[in-house]
Amino acid sequence: MFGASMALGPYVMHAGEVGANDKIRVGLIGCNGMGFADLSAFLGVPEVTCVALADIDQNVLNSKVAAVEKKTGKKPDAYKDWRKLIDRKDIDVVIVGTPDHWHCLQMVAACESGKDVYCEKPLGNSIEECNIMVRAAEKYNRVVQVGQWQRSDPHWQEAVDFIRSGKLGKIRTVRVFSYQGWCPSIPVRPDEAVPTGVDYDMWLGPAPKRPFNRNRFHFTFRWFWDYAGGLMTDWGVHLLDYALFGMNVTAPASIMASGGKFGYPDDACETPDLLQTIYTFKEGFTVLWDHAIGIDDGAYGRNHGLGFVGENGTLVIDRNGWEVIPEKVNGKARMEATPLQKQHGSGLGLHVKNHLDCIKSRNRNTNASIEIGAHIAKFSQLGNIAYRTGKKLTWNGKSFNDPEADKYLVKEYRAPWKLPKI
C-alpha cells in the first residue's frame, strides 16, 4: 500500500531549530517558476526571512537576489552549488524548487542536515525515490510540506466532505482531466553551447550526460523522461490526489494506459501529448486520467478538473469551484443540484501557513505531508509505467506483476551522484 500515516517519534532539537516565537530562516534551491512563487508566499509571512538562494543559472540567481532584496530590504547570499546552502547552520527551512530529477537528493540532504523542507511536486521522479524520501523524513524527524497546495484550498476540502456524505450514491468512476491549451508543442532545436553563467553539469546532476539543448532546460524539461514525467506527473499529482482523497482509497488493483504523440508527432517532446490511463480499484470503481496539450476542451466545459460520477449525480470540481449536476432518468432528477460554490481563499498562502504552524508545533502531519506527496507521486508514476510498457499491470504496493515494468521502479544515477541509502 502507499504511504500509511505514521506516529510521531520523539523530537530531538537540532542546530537552527525554531521556537514558537522565533524568526524562521528560509533558503531556496531552484529560483525559477514555482520555486520563487513558493518563496514569495513564505515572505508574505512576517516572521520569515530569506537567508540564501541557490541556482545553477547565474542570470536567474542575480535576478532573484535583487527581487528578494527589493521586497524585504535584505540581500540574501547566493550560491551556484546548492550544497553550500544546505551546509549553513542558520537555515531552518529549505524550499526545493528544482526540476523533478533533483528533488530526492536535495530533500534528503536537507533532512540529514536537520532542516525542515518545503518540496515542490511531484515529490520524486521514481517510485524508489519517493520511498527513500519518506524514510529520510521519518529518520530525521523533519516537518515536510509537498507543494500540492490544493490540499490547503478550502473549496477542495468542502467538495470532499460532500463526496463522502454519500449524497451522490454509489460512485462508479472518477473522471480526472487536464487539457492544457496554453501549453504548446516545442519544436525540434539543435544542440548548442551552454549559455554563459549556467553550470550545466550541475543542472544535469544524476540525469544522463547529454549535450545542452534549450528544450531540456528550464520550464520544458518536464517533457523529457530523464527529468520528469510529462503532464501526468505535473498536473496529475494535483488532480489525481483529490480523486484518491475523495474516494478514500490508496493503491489500485490494476493500471492500463494508452496514448502517444498524436497531436504533435514530430515535435521535440518525449512524453505523450495525449494520454488516457484507467486505474481499477477493488472497491468497485475506476479512476480515469485524461490529458492533452494544445487543447482546452476537457469535460464539463472545463479545461481541467474532476467529475465524481455517482448514481444520483456528478460532483464536478476545478480550481475555480465545485458544483453538483443531478442525474436525470426519464426527466426526473435523482437529487438536488448544487450551484457553483466558488473558490475562496489563497491555497498557496494557506499551504505555507500550515507548514509554518506545523514547524512551530513539530507536527509532521502537514496538509500535504511527505506520505501524501509520496503516495500520489507514485500513483502518477504507475500510469506512466503502464503507458511506457503498453501493458495492463497489477501492483502489490511494492512491485508489478511484470519484470519489464519493475525496471522503471528505480532510476540509475549518473556518477558521481548516488541514490541515497536510508
What is the C-alpha separation between 74 and 356, in angstroms, rounded? 21
Q: Residue written as cell 497531436?
A: 263
Helix or strand holding residue 267 (H, E): none
- Tell me the H-state helices in 166-265: 200-204, 230-234, 236-247
Residue 265, all three cell numbers: 508527432
Q: 133: exposed, middle or buried (C-beta count within 10 Å: 0-12, 13-18, 19+)?
A: buried
pLDDT tens for each residue of 345-355 = 889 999 999 99
* Beta pairing class for 274-281 and 144-146: unpaired
Provide the residue ranges of all domains of the chain, joining segments of one domain with +. Answer: 24-151+348-378, 155-190+220-342+379-406
Measuring CA to CA, how many Å separate 317 from each of 127, 157, 276, 302, 351? 28, 11, 19, 9, 19
Residues 81, 54: contact at Cβ < 8 Å? yes
- Whether pTM > 0.75 for this model: the answer is yes
Residues 269, 189: contact at Cβ < 8 Å? no
Residue 380, all three cell numbers: 502518477
What is the three-class DSSP state of 376?
helix
Residue 59, all three cell numbers: 542570470
Give me the mean pLDDT over the 55-81 stretch.
98
Q: What pLDDT shows up at residue 11?
A: 28
pLDDT band at 324 (very low <50, low <70, confident <90, very high): very high
Q: Residue written as cell 549556467?
A: 198
Neighbours of 244 (CB within 10 A): 22
pLDDT band at 184 (very low <50, low <70, confident <90, very high): confident
CATH class belonging to 24-151+348-378: alpha beta
Residue 193, all three cell numbers: 553551447
pLDDT tens for each residue of 95-142 = 999 999 999 999 999 999 999 999 999 999 999 999 999 999 999 999
pLDDT tens for each residue of 188-235 = 999 999 999 999 999 999 999 999 999 999 999 999 999 999 999 999
Q: Is the pLDDT of residue 12 over 50?
A: no
Neighbours of 312 (CB within 10 A): 17
pLDDT band at 4 (very low <50, low <70, confident <90, very high): very low
Give every strand in the sheet of 48-54, ordered side by side: 77-79, 48-54, 24-29, 93-96, 116-119, 144-146
Q: What pLDDT shows up at residue 9?
A: 29
Looking at 2.60.40.650, 3.40.50.300, 3.30.70.1150, 3.30.360.10, the CATH number of the domain 155-190+220-342+379-406 comes to 3.30.360.10
